[in-house]
Amino acid sequence: MKILRCEVWPVTLKLRAPFTIAYSTLDETVNVFFRIVTDTGLTGCGVAAPDEMVTGENETTILPALRETAEPLLRGSDPLKMGMLIEKLGKVLPKEPTARAAVDMALFDLLGKKAHLPLFQLLGACRSSIKTSVTVGIMPLEETLEETRRWIAKGFSAIKLKGGLNLEEDIRKVRRLRELLGPGVGLRFDANQGYSVEEAQRFIEETALAKLEAIEQPTPAASPSLLGDVRAGGRGVVPVMADESLLKLSDAFHLARKKLVDMLNIKLMKTGGIRPAERIAAIARAAGQEIMVGCMDEAGLGVAAGLHFALAQPDVRYADLDGYFDFTNDTTASAVQVKNGLLYPTGEPGLGFEVSM
């Protein structure tokens, strides 16, 4: 089998309503799709969903990375030699993990189709579905409660609350949400780097009765040691999770060696795809850290790749794979099946979905 060509095209995805976190507000985003076409008629497709504040990439960097660097590297190659191709790609695009993730996904999608197996089975299925949280962005208290009620009415039983702009308001929201949800619904909090160590420790103390499942990236990513300070001061009341501080394998090793966090949020768009994510998961396993598989604001196809990875990993405790839920024009939304808050793959080979331009 030989790669004949690669196709690259951007899609602007529009949100149902503006979504705010500690460092940005979005009402639309651009995903870049990437398709590998082979001489056998088989194709594989992936998608890049950039977050410039996290990896430094955006549409204007990803398009040339895929068209001018990845496509010439892949053209004429055997796509089943994916280990070699992914290694080569890492050398020529060392600072573009989101672009690399699109290629990695497309190669894995193609591999699954060649094997006539859904990707999670090919990777070594540990489960056939997983519960996902749904994320509630930063908004006034009453709107936060109403948005949460909307998701609970749809059958979801895990909520991730965004914060990091106003400590007092965040504490108040968490307490009210726990009153609303009762003890049977999981509740997580993500400050997106918005707190100091002192603020994070106060937040943990004053929300202790809410029994949070995790506090995610409370302090600035550029100083990962601060996560260790939060963890030490929190005395195990709430697990501390790294997100923006975890981009590559060396970050995972540093977080593990220094015992800075309890959990890792692995996102394929940060790591460069499934292959490097597997290596990070191995470090987490050796360090006794638990894993949440998360996502950016990405189309259903990207979430499907994260889902297949999560289903194949034994140490994944949580999933936060809701990045496509509020898009109004995502033609790949059915790449993932949702029922009562659980995510399922389609059961078709590869990523389980055929993408049309």
* pLDDT single digits (tens) 16-44: 988 899 888 889 999 999 999 999 999 99
| In the chain, where the domains are located | 3-115, 121-345
Instruction: Could you list the residues known to form a binding site, using ranges.
Output: 190, 216, 243
Q: Tell me, what's the pLDDT at 135?
A: 97
- Known active-site residue 211: no
Catalytic residue among 113, 114, 160, 162: 162
Residue ranges, the chain, pLDDT below 70: none
Q: Tell me, what's the pLDDT at 22?
A: 81
Classify domain 3-115 by CATH architecture. Answer: 2-Layer Sandwich (3.30)
Q: Tell me, what's the pLDDT at 24?
A: 83
Catalytic residue among 114, 173, 267, 270: 267
Q: Classify 121-345 by CATH class.
A: alpha beta
List pLDDT tens digits, range 188-202: 999 999 999 999 999
Q: Tell me, what's the pLDDT at 35?
A: 98
Q: Tell me, what's the pLDDT at 23?
A: 83
Q: Which residues pair with 162 in a beta bridge?
A: 190
pLDDT above 70 as % of the chain: 100
Instruction: Could you list the residues known to form a binding site for Mg(2+), using ranges.
Output: 190, 216, 243
- Known active-site residue 162: yes
